[in-house]
Amino acid sequence: MMSRYLFAILFQVCCLCRLTAQKHVLNHYSVAVTTMHTNLPFHSFSSLFTKEYHPGVELGTGFSWKQKTRHDWYQELSFAYSYHRWVQHTICLYSAVGYRYKFPKGFTADASIGAGYLHAIADSKLFKLQPDGTYKKKFNGGRAQAMAAFTIGIGKSFASGNAIFLRYQQRVQTPFIKSYVPVLPSNLLMLGLTVALHKANNK
**CA 185 → CA 57, 175, 182, distances in Å?**
18, 11, 10
Q: How confident is the model at residue 202 (pLDDT cuts 50, 70, 90)?
A: very low
What is the rounded CA–CA span in Å between residue 189 and residue 179?
29
Q: What is the pLDDT of residue 114?
A: 96
DSSP 99-118: EEEE-GGGEEEEEEEEEEEE
DSSP 8-state secondary structure symbol assigned to residue 49? H
* CATH code of the domain occupying 2-201: 2.40.160.20
Burial 2-37 (b: 16+ CB within 10 A, else e): eeeebeebbeebeeebeebeeebebbbebebebbbb
> Which segment of 48-62, 83-97, 181-195 scores lowest on mean pLDDT?
48-62
7 or 158, higher pLDDT: 158
pLDDT bucket at 203, cuts 50 / 70 / 90: very low
| Domains of the chain, residue spans | 2-201
Q: Is residue 53 a contact partner of residue 84, using CB atoms and an 8 Å limit?
A: no
Q: Is 80 in contact with 91 (CB distance < 8 Å)?
A: yes
In this predicted model, what pLDDT tens digit does every residue of 70-104 receive, in sequence order?
999 999 999 999 998 878 999 999 999 999 999 99
8-34 pLDDT, tens digit each = 555 655 665 555 555 678 899 999 999
